[in-house]
Amino acid sequence: MNKEKHKETCLVIMTGLLVFWLIYKANVLITIAIVTGIAGAFIPALARWIHWAWYKLADGMGYVMSKVILSIIFFAFLSVIAVIYKAFSKDPLQLKKKKDTYWTSRNHSYSGKDIENVW
């Protein structure tokens, strides 16, 4: 990465911390914002490490949150579809105990036409 990208990352972090300071009025936020801004502007080595840590944090959060969000979406849709299917189905797998046997007799006589075009 180039130095401008490191500075940009530090300034974005500083701006975000200042916005949070305006909302929450916590003095530690303005201190961290000033240190981050000075590091980004005047200390390139520290800016590089801040940039690296910020992007590793973003990678980790992206990895975890993508799994969480996709799991929530999957189970929300799967549960809804399963409930709807359960409400309107007529037990196609014959899972409910209704009769003594589950054997279905298919009285079918095979002919030559049955095996002509199998696929």
Quick check: is 96 in a domain?
Answer: no
Q: What is the pLDDT of residue 100?
A: 74
Quick check: is 28 in a domain?
Answer: yes
* Rounded Cα gap, residues 37 and 28, in angstroms: 14
Contacts of 21 (CB under 8 A, 6+ apart): 27, 29, 30, 33
* Rounded Cα gap, residues 36 and 47, in angstroms: 8
* Rounded Cα gap, residues 117 and 119, in angstroms: 6
Report the number of distinct structural domains present in the chain: 1
Quick check: is 26 in a domain?
Answer: yes
Quick check: is 115 in a domain?
Answer: no
Positions of the chain with pLDDT lower than 70, given as ranges:
1, 92, 94, 96-99, 102
Q: What is the pLDDT of residue 35?
A: 93
User: Using CB atoms within 10 A of its CB, is residue 117 exposed (0-12), middle (13-18) or buried (19+)?
Assistant: exposed
Quick check: is 104 in a domain?
Answer: no
Q: What is the pLDDT of residue 67?
A: 96
Quick check: is 101 in a domain?
Answer: no
Phi, psi of 100 (to 5 degrees): -70, -30
Domain limits at 34?
Answer: 5-88
Quick check: is 45 in a domain?
Answer: yes
